[in-house]
Every structure is written in structure tokens, then in C-alpha cells.
Amino acid sequence: MVNPLVWWRRVRKRQPRSESISVILWSKPGCCLCERAKEILDRLAKEFLLDIEERDITADPVAFARYCYTIPVVEIVGGPIFEGKITEFWLRKAFVSYSHSRPPLSC
């Protein structure tokens, strides 16, 4: 078993990657929860290097069928997907975890 203090020191020493985190926000016009999720992502973009792409589910029949009852959906490309009530706490936690765990890009 790993000593919690040793583990914390290892976690603290990790430096976040400098690559941007690709995020897709699935939403639709007139959705107040979608607007709130966008505001949260805009706030978090000040802390993390985020590449945010907003997609309208009404423009894509497949996306509409998949997400019509679960929007907003925040999809971290290559990572977790958050649906419905989006909170800043869980997104921040996911971005911290994702930015520390990704391997560096190789040329």
C-alpha cells in the first residue's frame, strides 16, 4: 500500500501538459442549462488551455436522437463525458486529472 503522503507529493510534483484539451459542448438554442455550461467552460478556460467547440444538436439528426433528452453534454475528447447538470467542480476535477495523465505528444 502506498503511503498517502508519498502519493500526494508525487501528484503535486506533476506538471500539467502544455497541449490544449479538446472539449465539445453539445447544446441547442434556447437551452438555459446549455448557456450555464458554456459560462462554466468559459471560466475554466482561464485556468486550463481549452479548445472548446460548440455543436448544435438540432443541425445533426444523429446527435439530436442521441442527446435530445440529456443536453447539455460536455465531451472531453479522449476523456469523460458529462451530461445534464454540469458543475464546475466536476469539470475542473476532470481537467486537472486529464491534463496530468496524458502522455506527451511524440513527433
What is the tally of structural domains in the chain? 1
The per-residue pLDDT string of the chain (107 residues; one tens digit each, 9 = 90 and over) reads: 555 544 444 544 444 456 789 999 999 999 999 999 999 999 999 999 999 999 999 999 999 999 999 999 999 988 889 999 999 999 999 999 887 775 544 44
Q: Which three cell numbers stand for residue 53?
A: 467547440
pLDDT of residue 7: 44
- 11 contacts 96 by C-beta, under 8 angstroms: no
Residue 29 lies in a domain: yes
Phi/psi of residue 60, nearest 5 degrees? -130, 115
Range list of H helices, the chain: 4-13, 32-44, 61-67, 88-101
User: Which CATH number fits the domain that encloses residue 77?
Assistant: 3.40.30.10
- Range of the structural domain that residue 53 is part of: 19-101
pLDDT of residue 3: 52
Residue 13 lies in a domain: no
Task: Calculate the alpha carbon distances from 2 to 9, 19, 56 in Å.
Answer: 12, 30, 46
3-class DSSP assignment, residue 81: strand
pTM to 2 decimal places: 0.75
Residue 63 lies in a domain: yes
